[in-house]
Structure 1
Amino acid sequence: MGHTTIQDGMRIDWDVEIATDDGVVLKADVFRPVDDGRYPVLLTYGPYAKGLAFQDGYPSAWQKMVAGHPDVAYGSTNKHQNWEVVDPEKWVPHGYVCVRVDSRGTGRSPGFVDHFSPRETRDFYECIEWAGVQPWSSGKVGLSGVSYYGINQWHVASLQPPHLAAMCIWEGSADWYRDMTHHGGILSTFWANWYDMQVKTVQYGLGERGPRNKASGLLVCGDETMSDEELARNRCSFGDDILSHPLDDEYHRDRSPQWDKITVPFLSAANWGGQGLHPRGNFEGFTRAASTEKWLEAHGLEHWTHFYTDYGRDLQKRFFDCYLKGERNGWAEQPRVLLQVRHVDRFEPQGATAWPLPDTRWTKLYLDPHRQTLSVTPPSAKADIPFAAMGDGLTFMSEPLERETEITGPLAAGLRVSSSTADADIFLVFRVFTADLREITFVGAIDPHTPIAQGWLRASHRKLDPQLTQPWRPYHAHDEVQPLTPGSPVDLDVEIWPTSIVVPAGCRIALSIRGRDYKWQETTGARLSNFKNELTGCGPFLHDDPRDRPAALFGGTTTLHLDPDGSSYVLLPIIDRD
């Protein structure tokens, strides 16, 4: 059993035991007010080790954040800061209990590691119900956290825990297939690398080989010290498991939400620059979940930053004060959509009633072969343009824009293509260039040079789900492979993830059609301590596993077919605010 201390203005119960229905005992730290009473609970369940300080586990991210945003560190000793969960020193004084649970097999919780599995989701459910009946609990449990701690909120909400009263999903993907593991059917190698860098390093059983929590004195990864062989037996082969499920089968559905069963009030916060993992689920969740009390927020900057800044924390606090404390603070009356609209040099707050925005002027720009331009009219004649199927492809660029133009919302593209082989991978990049043709990029959720928007599609996965497809968001079934006949054109509808950009007059917009991941430049020197690769434009969200993209199948020639019927275009959500 754990122990209790009073420090930094809080009563802290270290290593509290939560027994699950199969006998595994999870470990949690509970931060609560010193005064006895019943308080609403903010709970997280995840794999990053409750005892690992943010500053120790993710030093480069922490240093960058506090240097640029001193409000994050101000007003706290920062001794209890953890990666992607709330700082209790900024919540407990406001009458909240903060509970951090190490997920099964990680940190100080024993068991077999199998991320986002039904077993994990059931554990999360049981932790919520445990927290709802403790003597210090008001019975209202809220969920709050970034990324992993947001993703699994969608999943557990599908089970409808009785004590779950509200949740804030901050940059949390949802669909295990479309958002996370297979972009347009193309395998993302992120998860295999993430597993090595961020989970195996804090797996339960590292014991004395792992770090020690300076605040509690406890070993971060359990008191038991296992061999490498024992550790390996206690975790799934995560990257290989994902690779072995190339279609959206039961494996993926078990790790995805059931939107019609999510009824709890929520705030869904997306990052415009989170391409490859973080924005899509937040937008899909807002539009598709059955909840009637739901809000969407979208912001920029690094993926962890605004969760901790005064802007983000004040937003979360107003939401939770309303739903966990019952305060009439005006939250329920504010616009359902809260956007930090992106300009080249700033973000501008805007409110709206729905997503996509009701005043969207959906505009098609056609791919014209004459000068490889984007045009408001289809091309006047047919043209076939080949490119190396795993190369840098083609870029179609507009003329300089005559006036400032806001593009905020989801994008889509239609392409008519053929391949010299039975398949082809399409990587789309929506881009903005200055008048002198320098590309405008942004600090993204992970990468410091992120393009405006990206989309992906494997041609053999072109089958659409007619019930879920919208003109502005093609929805692919991913339930069967439809090989190409070499040389025969097919029509592709490509989803491009939501974005926001106010393009200055005189700048140009462009669509690149590539056969591999976007690269801002070959080398940047940009790195973060928790990722393996150098950051060259896509962060860690790459599609470079040769087992998924064998050269014999994907390394031929792709041909883009352009014709007067306008089959190849990009659909833009242009916003007129005048």
Structure 2
Amino acid sequence: MRIYWDVPIEMDDGLVLRADLFLPVEEGRYPVILSMGAYGKGLAMQEGFPSAWNIMIEKFPEVAAGSTNKYQNWEVVDPEKWVPDGYACLRIDSRGSGRSPGYFDSQSAREIRDLYDCIEWAAVQDWSSGKVGMNGISYFAQNQWYVAKHQPPSLAAICVWEGFADLYRECCYTAGILNEMVANTVEMQMNTVQYGRGVNGPRSAVTGQLVCGDVTLSEEELARNRFPIRKLIAEHPFADEWYAERSADFAKTIVPLLTAGNWGGQPLHTRGNVEGFVRAASSQKWLEMHGYEHWVSFYTDYGIDLQKRFFGHFLKGEPTGWLKQPRVQLQIRHPGDTFVQRMEQEWPLARTNWTKFYLHADGGLVVDEPDSGAPKRLAFEALGKGLHFTTPPLAAPMEITGPSAAKFRISSSTENADLFLVLRVFDPAGKEVLFRGALDPKTPVAQGWLRASRRKLVPELSEVYRPYHAHDEDELLTPDVPVDLDIEIWPTSIVVPAGHRLALSILGRDFEHDEAPSGLSNMKFAMKGCGPFTHNDPADRPVDVFGGTTTLHFDDGARPYVLLPVIPAAAGA
């Protein structure tokens, strides 16, 4: 490869961003794979995210094969696996990050304007074919949604790999409940590579350059040069314009796109990918859903093949057969981290048997049979063990693939309540079957959330299987007066074996399993079943409000149920 370090890209306000450019040896014009983000282009994945790298290489040694791995960088393509195929790879440190100076304001209008300008800059360089594609995971995926709504002329295709699209609903406030992961991630993974850390930051093992610029600022100066994430989130508790600026506008998303989500990516790396596929205005869009860790599938032979067939068609005009690719490619999940690939044409699947599983006051979870008899009530301490409902052992395997929703009538002893729903599987011996999540290696099948005061729906965006909440105001409860809730449970896929039981837990706090916690080097706390996506902020969830008693009502005309996407077995299966 020809490699150019710290290529200057001047923005419309005169500030110069820095990028690393990887080109084939032969002179020519090449399509561009572009990424821009806040993790430091000079920080090797092996150094910045060692546990993630080690997990990936141990389980999928193919990732390290065929590359020196010197240029592996967190959540972006390995140029050694792309440049030989005739691509230019351009990695850009976003404003205020790595070696790019300026005020760090993650995914703001200013940052997305920079990204737009970088796309158009790349298109007119003498090494560029004029076609630019974006590829990458998480941060490098979600900003694809954000820039796509501005429709840069040279953006020919995007591959959004596990990237949320709605900063409020999928990131900062999970269904109205403050998600502590956001601020923790910014502080641990972005502020640590902020421009100006200089000699106090890491140094590139390849170039010897300081990853965070050649200027060394004090902690006070650094703090003044970045957005105060915790303060801003607290100041914006509703889905207002601040979030809209930092979220997708699917009606304006017309670029060809491949969106890839993770069944275990709740509540960050699943919903946005599915919503993007369903709602984007693009006539050329494809959905892929997989499992395993959040960062793994992107780098495997499976992931790279999918990406190269997509970009080969849209950036190079190669006969990759992409237009024959089914619109939906699913890795159907089975216990034991087993996945079976299946091609589909739509989402949700047209043949879905939407099935109501009614909650019975005796703890049963029963198909299409509301609890009979006089109205009943079940109460639980919001911060306690919750309520649990279980099916009988299944007589035959049952596939659940798609979004789910619950409809409850609840009351609270206080003026509010948070609901945490957990879809679970138990084996014939009664042991819970946990699944490898995107970040947490031991997660339940699916989860859903809702703050009761944020129960107002947006009718034009709601479906019976996926309620959509406005989150624009609080409608506080009157203590002990029941209200109706429609609760979204994020998309999932699982084939539950015969003899196993399906269960639904209703909690007033985050789910935690009974096994030993797990950890990652880039995460602040140990993980106990919901990864780093915890909801324990005392300012957002004061105990005197969210530590009361929640009551589930079994009333005539409002029997509680969960609607699950049961997929009929194929003929002859």
Which stretch shows the higher mean deviation, 88-97 or 341-350? 341-350
Which stretch shows the higher mean deviation, 430-439 or 208-217? 208-217
Q: Tell me how large the CA RMSD over aligned residues is.
A: 0.9
- What are the equivalent positions in structure 2 for 1:195-214 lying under 5 Å apart? 195-214=186-205
1:363-385: CA deviations, max 9, x gaps? 00101102443443000022101
Aligned with 1:312 (options 295, 303, 306) = 303
TM-score (norm 2): 0.98
Residues 357 and 365 in structure 2, CA contact (< 8 A), matched pair in contact too:
no
Shift in Å, 1:50: 0.3
Aligned with 1:367 (options 359, 367, 374) = 359
Residues 491 and 567 in structure 1, CA contact (< 8 A), matched pair in contact too:
no
- 1:506 matched to which residue of 2? 499
Which stretch shows the higher mean deviation, 523-532 or 463-472? 523-532
Which stretch shows the higher mean deviation, 13-22 or 388-397? 388-397
Residues 434 and 442 in structure 2, CA contact (< 8 A), matched pair in contact too:
yes
Aligned with 1:385 (options 368, 371, 378) = 378
Q: Secondary structure at the match of 1:308?
A: coil
- 1:341 matched to which residue of 2? 332
Provide the rounded CA distance (Å) in 2 between the counterparts of 1:224 and 1:246. 36
Provide the rounded CA distance (Å) in 2 between the counterparts of 1:328 and 1:385. 61
Matched residue type, 1:257? A
Provide the rounded CA distance (Å) in 2 between the counterparts of 1:525 and 1:555. 24
- 1:558 matched to which residue of 2? 550
1:220 equivalent in alignment to 2:211:
yes
- 2:142 matched to which residue of 1? 151
1:42-97: CA deviations, max 9, x gaps? 00000000000000000011011101100000000000000000000000000000
Residues 276 and 541 in structure 1, CA contact (< 8 A), matched pair in contact too:
yes
Shift in Å, 1:487: 0.8
- What are the equivalent positions in structure 2 for 1:133-282 lying under 5 Å apart? 133-282=124-273
- 1:60 matched to which residue of 2? 51
- 2:508 matched to which residue of 1? 515
Q: Secondary structure at the match of 1:306?
A: coil
Provide the rounded CA distance (Å) in 2 between the counterparts of 1:289 and 1:550. 38
Residues 428 and 456 in structure 1, CA contact (< 8 A), matched pair in contact too:
yes
- 2:390 matched to which residue of 1? 397
Aligned with 2:18 (options 24, 27, 37) = 27
Which stretch shows the higher mean deviation, 468-477 or 210-219? 210-219
Provide the rounded CA distance (Å) in 2 between the counterparts of 1:306 and 1:327. 24
Aligned with 1:532 (options 524, 528, 552) = 524
Provide the rounded CA distance (Å) in 2 between the counterparts of 1:544 and 1:237. 20
Residues 259 and 289 in structure 1, CA contact (< 8 A), matched pair in contact too:
yes
Q: Secondary structure at the match of 1:26?
A: strand
Shift in Å, 1:333: 1.3
- 1:18 matched to which residue of 2? 9
Matched residue type, 1:216? T
- 1:3 matched to which residue of 2? none
Aligned with 1:431 (options 401, 424, 430) = 424
Shift in Å, 1:215: 1.5
Shift in Å, 1:437: 1.1
Residues 366 and 566 in structure 1, CA contact (< 8 A), matched pair in contact too:
no
Query: Structure 1 regions of 5+ residues with no counterpart?
Result: 1-9
Matched residue type, 1:478? H
- 2:104 matched to which residue of 1? 113
Residues 524 and 534 in structure 1, CA contact (< 8 A), matched pair in contact too:
no
Provide the rounded CA distance (Å) in 2 between the counterparts of 1:453 and 1:390. 20
1:279-316: CA deviations, max 9, x gaps? 00000000000000000000000000000000001110
Residues 408 and 558 in structure 2, CA contact (< 8 A), matched pair in contact too:
no
Query: Structure 2 regions of 5+ residues with no counterpart?
Result: none
Matched residue type, 2:201? G
Q: How many matched pairs? A: 568
- 1:422 matched to which residue of 2? 415
Q: Secondary structure at the match of 1:307?
A: coil
Provide the rounded CA distance (Å) in 1 between the counterparts of 2:217 and 2:424. 49
- 2:368 matched to which residue of 1? 376
Shift in Å, 1:446: 0.1
1:447 equivalent in alignment to 2:418:
no
- 2:541 matched to which residue of 1? 549
1:233-264: CA deviations, max 9, x gaps? 10011122112111101111111111111000
Residues 63 and 300 in structure 2, CA contact (< 8 A), matched pair in contact too:
yes
Shift in Å, 1:525: 4.3
Provide the rounded CA distance (Å) in 2 between the counterparts of 1:397 and 1:507. 10
Shift in Å, 1:360: 0.5
Residues 39 and 97 in structure 2, CA contact (< 8 A), matched pair in contact too:
yes
Which stretch shows the higher mean deviation, 136-145 or 19-28? 19-28
Shift in Å, 1:457: 0.2
Provide the rounded CA distance (Å) in 1 between the counterparts of 2:180 and 2:544. 20
Q: Secondary structure at the match of 2:329?
A: strand
Matched residue type, 1:106? S
Residues 371 and 559 in structure 2, CA contact (< 8 A), matched pair in contact too:
no
- 1:39 matched to which residue of 2? 30
Residues 14 and 28 in structure 1, CA contact (< 8 A), matched pair in contact too:
yes
- 1:409 matched to which residue of 2? 402
Provide the rounded CA distance (Å) in 1 between the counterparts of 2:500 and 2:214. 59
Residues 355 and 367 in structure 2, CA contact (< 8 A), matched pair in contact too:
no
Shift in Å, 1:108: 0.1
The change in CA–CA distance for 1:104 and 1:310 in structure 2 (over 3 A counts) is same
Matched residue type, 1:383? K
TM-score (norm 1): 0.97
- 1:6 matched to which residue of 2? none
Matched residue type, 1:432? V
